[in-house]
Amino acid sequence: EAQVTQNPRYLITVTGKKLTVTCSQNMNHEYMSWYRQDPGLGLRQIYYSMNVEVTDKGDVPEGYKVSRKEKRNFPLILESPSPNQTSLYFCASSLGREVALYEQYFGPGTRLTVT
């Protein structure tokens, strides 16, 4: 089954404790992206990657890191999480450059709480 998977689905952590949220897709998609979703603000793009070893900032990259060492994986790293990073996070992927502009497949989401 074609899908985007994220782990963990739920995470409660404390301020400053480094964490990684994994994202994997099995569709051989070139484009991958991370979003956070907050009430009243909608989805905001954190980082995106056009291909292996190519990443770029979205609208809200502060406090986050990403890497794209393999085509299928795009982990999101919070080096020192803070309470304002409490949010619902989505990973998405798309077939390629132009398609990335209008057709993305989303994972099930990771609900992160930082206390």
Binding site for other proteins (CB under 8 A): 4, 31, 33, 35, 40-45, 48, 50, 56, 58-59, 90, 92, 97-98, 100-109
- In the complex, the smallest distance separating the C-beta of residue 90 from other proteins, rounded to whole angstroms, is 5
- In the complex, the smallest distance separating the C-beta of residue 103 from other proteins, rounded to whole angstroms, is 5
Pairing of strands 110-114, 10-13: parallel
Please say which residue, 78 or 92, places its beta carbon nearer to other proteins: 92
Please say which residue, 79 or 98, places its beta carbon nearer to other proteins: 98
Quote the CA–CA distance of 44 and 104 in Å, as a whole number.
14
DSSP string, 15-72: TT--EEEEEEESS--SEEEEEEEETTTEEEEEEEEEETTEEEE-S--TT-EE--SSSS
- In the complex, the smallest distance separating the C-beta of residue 34 from other proteins, rounded to whole angstroms, is 12
